[in-house]
């Protein structure tokens, strides 16, 4: 009886230690960190682009609704990505100005052109820029789905793939109707 009890205690202790060490090894990997570091400035730029459209009184209501939708989805994701970087002990990296070569990022000149455009030209430019921007985000998110380890980050990446692919289709339809 004593031997069985001691064996059970030893087994329980070994399982507890294995669970602790396993949780330290699981969690996240370099792909998760890179995803968060790259997606934050990517999302920030999408919000900036959306703000430009929303500041225009002559924006098409469908385009303005899309811009509102983009902001509503991406702002909370930025907060979650920031939280993960803090938890993982990783740095946030520089603002999006240093990410000009990142998939889908628009240049400062593109942003200026968007800010100067009005009416249907402004709507068209926003949609064209945002299609390319979203396509870049979908590529980054697909890479995260394939290579990421953190379940929350992989789940967010899949959500980005799904929602932004649908928004791309909506934007392409709006462009075709112009």
- pLDDT classification of 101: cutoffs 50, 70, 90: low
Let me know: does 150 contact 138? Beta carbons within 8 Å: no
- Look up the CATH superfamily of 28-176: Ferritin, core subunit, four-helix bundle (1.20.1260.10)
% of the chain exceeding 70 in pLDDT:
80
Q: Is the pLDDT of residue 22 over 80?
A: no
Structure confidence by residue, pLDDT tens digits, 41-100: 999 999 999 999 999 999 999 999 999 999 999 999 999 999 999 999 998 874 444 454
Asked if the model's pLDDT at residue 158 lies above 80, the reply is yes
The pLDDT value recorded for residue 16 is: 39
Residue for token pair 């031997």? 3
Q: For 112-136, what is each residue's pLDDT tens digit? A: 999 999 999 999 999 999 999 999 9
Kindly state the tokens that stand for 13.
């202790």
Mean pLDDT of 136-162: 96
pLDDT band, very low/low/confident/very high, at 103 (cuts 50, 70, 90): confident
Q: What is the CA radius of gyration of the chain?
A: 22
Provide the strand spans (E) within 27-167: none
Question: Mean pLDDT throughout 99-105?
Answer: 68
Domain boundaries, the chain: 28-176
């Amino acid at each position: 009886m004593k031997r069985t009890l001691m064996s059970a205690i030893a087994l329980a202790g070994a399982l507890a230690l294995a669970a602790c060490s396993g949780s330290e090894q699981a969690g996240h990997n370099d792909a998760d960190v890179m995803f968060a570091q790259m997606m934050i400035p990517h999302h920030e730029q999408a919000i900036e682009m959306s703000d430009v459209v929303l500041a225009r009184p002559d924006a098409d209501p469908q385009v303005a609704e899309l811009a509102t939708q983009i902001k509503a989805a991406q702002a909370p994701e930025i907060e979650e990505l920031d939280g993960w970087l803090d938890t993982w002990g990783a740095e946030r990296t520089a603002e999006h100005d240093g990410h000009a070569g990142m998939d889908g990022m628009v240049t400062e000149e593109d942003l200026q052109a968007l800010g100067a455009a009005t009416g249907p030209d402004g709507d068209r430019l926003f949609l064209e820029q945002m299609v390319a921007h979203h396509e870049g985000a979908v590529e980054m998110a697909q890479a995260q789905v394939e290579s990421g380890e953190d379940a929350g980050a992989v789940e967010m990446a899949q959500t980005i793939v799904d929602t932004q692919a649908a928004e791309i289709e909506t934007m392409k339809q709006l462009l075709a109707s112009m």
